[in-house]
Amino acid sequence: MADLSNFDPNSAGNPNNNIFGLPFSEEESGVVILPIPWEVSVSYKAGTSRAPENIFKASYQVDLIDNDFPDGWKKGIFMQEPDDEISQKGDYLRKEAELYIKFVTDGHDLCESKFMTKVLNELNEGGAFLNDWVYGKCKDLLERGKLVGLLGGDHSTPLGYYKALGEKYSSFGILHIDAHCDLREAYEGMTYSHASIMYNALNEVPAISGIVQVGTRDYSLSEIDFIKDSNGRVVTFFDKDLKERQYDGETWKKICEDIVDRLPENVYLSFDIDGLDPKLCPNTGTPVQGGLETEEVYYLLRTMLRKGKKLIGFDLVEVGVSTSEWDENVGARVLFKLCNLLMRSNEN
């Protein structure tokens, strides 16, 4: 463990240290955050690829006492450097994707352009490359006994992490906080679109027993059909239904217990920040009115742990970048909470 004798947890965050101003190396840390500066397939607002570096800067403003796990910071949290190759490849492919998405949304057909067909192939190859890269990084961290939090970037980024977890756990479920279902097959022709992450997870990771979605409020007809035809493998708690149950007098405690009852023993959290009310992260890639409060999500996660479920990993994705630094400030605090809950759930 790190020598904390000269570290003052009450002082301002030291920018010479790692995330949250903590003085731990990767080897000394219980949780390692893997940043993925990638947003190739985003179909509305860009900026999420820069979230890791901006959240890192904002993290120095986060005080270290978390009421769910007051001494959690002492177990160590470390964020790796964003990988330059991933960042540069993602930036190049994002420009290609902008051309391709405009071509498609303008009503053109791929048959009209060999060039755009080539671009689409490059985008799909890039997505496969990222999945393999993330898988390798996460597999290494898991084999070294680390708890892993993935920090996007867009929501396409964690598929490789799911695959690595699928080799460690014979079965696990995903608790999916999101405004969207993300169950589209190859959205806009891109196999590994951010809008297809849960479709791909179910089709490519046999260990995933099911997905429980919470806060969903923006979806397509094909996604509704997918849910209906999933034989219970996808359970969706729509935002409208959650709010109407509360308006009718049900407590959030009862609703959370109903959600948790649909989860298996081992649970992975996939947290798209647009699952929250957009006042909290207005610059996320695809904001949608409505949504959850942070404390509602935290209460749900506490309920999950109280009822004996194990949190095995998480991703936090789609945090936008703002001139006021509000989005990254919220993102840093959500990230700290998730790290502490992950450590608390895995205490020996």
Specify the CATH number for the domain of residue 140.
3.40.800.10
In a domain, 12, yes or no: no
In a domain, 209, yes or no: yes
Rounded CA separation 180/156 (Å): 13
In a domain, 11, yes or no: no
Burial of 96 from C-beta contacts in 10 A (0-12 / 13-18 / 19+): middle
Res 112: pLDDT: 86
Give me the sheet containing 266-272, strands edge to edge. 77-79, 31-36, 147-152, 310-317, 266-272, 172-177, 208-216, 234-238
In a domain, 55, yes or no: yes
Burial of 304 from C-beta contacts in 10 A (0-12 / 13-18 / 19+): buried
In a domain, 317, yes or no: yes
Q: Which residue has the tokens 């630094």?
A: 325
Rounded CA separation 317/104 (Å): 25
Residue 2: Cβ within 10 Å count? 14
Res 1: pLDDT: 66
Res 5: pLDDT: 82
What is the tally of structural domains in the chain?
1
CB 19 within 8 A of CB 59: yes
Res 47: pLDDT: 87
In a domain, 268, yes or no: yes
Q: Domain span at residue 143?
A: 19-345
In a domain, 194, yes or no: yes
In a domain, 5, yes or no: no
Rounded CA separation 236/213 (Å): 5
- pLDDT lower than 70: segments of the chain: 1
Q: Does the reported pTM lie above 0.95? A: yes
DSSP string, 146-165: -EEEEEESSTTTTHHHHHHH
